[in-house]
């Protein structure tokens, strides 16, 4: 994609569709300015289904950030959900 460096990227209920999440996060990091922010909204679950094939619990997102060189994420908020119990929002930045 031919984009200028971005101040931030927001991903809402989308990372759970990506099988290789490490490669994807490494790819999108290239589009962030230094100290650019990634905001993630996801189901807080580790077990998927046909609608959410590769869920990313907050604990797993912490691991993904460490593996991809992102700062440890901050948990911003959670809300209950009838679908997979809970949704969370979090933010991280480039290291």
What is the pLDDT, as a whole number, of residue 89? 98
CATH number listed for the domain at residues 6-93: 3.40.50.150
pLDDT at residue 39 in the model: 98
The crossing angle, in degrees rounded to 10, of helices 58-68 and 21-29 is: 60
Long-range (24+ apart) CB contacts under 8 A made by 2-6 are: 3/31, 5/31, 5/32, 5/33, 5/36, 6/31, 6/32, 6/33, 6/36
Q: What is the pTM of this model?
A: 0.93
pLDDT in tens, 37-88: 999 999 999 999 999 999 999 999 999 999 999 999 999 999 999 889 999 9
More confident: 95 or 89: 89
Cα(66)–Cα(6) distance, rounded to whole angstroms?
21
pLDDT(1) > 80: no
The full set of domain ranges for the chain reads: 6-93
- Listed in sequence order, the residues at least 6 apart from 60 whose beta carbon sits closer than 8 Å to its beta carbon are 46
């Amino acid at each position: 994609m031919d984009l200028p460096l971005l101040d931030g990227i927001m991903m809402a209920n989308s990372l759970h569709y990506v099988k290789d999440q490490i490669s994807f996060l490494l790819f999108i990091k290239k589009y962030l300015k230094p100290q650019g922010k990634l905001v993630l909204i996801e189901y807080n679950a580790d077990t998927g289904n046909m609608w959410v094939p590769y869920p990313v619990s907050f604990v797993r997102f912490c691991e993904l950030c460490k593996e991809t060189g992102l700062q440890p994420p901050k948990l911003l908020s959670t809300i209950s959900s009838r679908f997979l119990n809970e949704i969370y929002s979090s933010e991280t930045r480039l290291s």
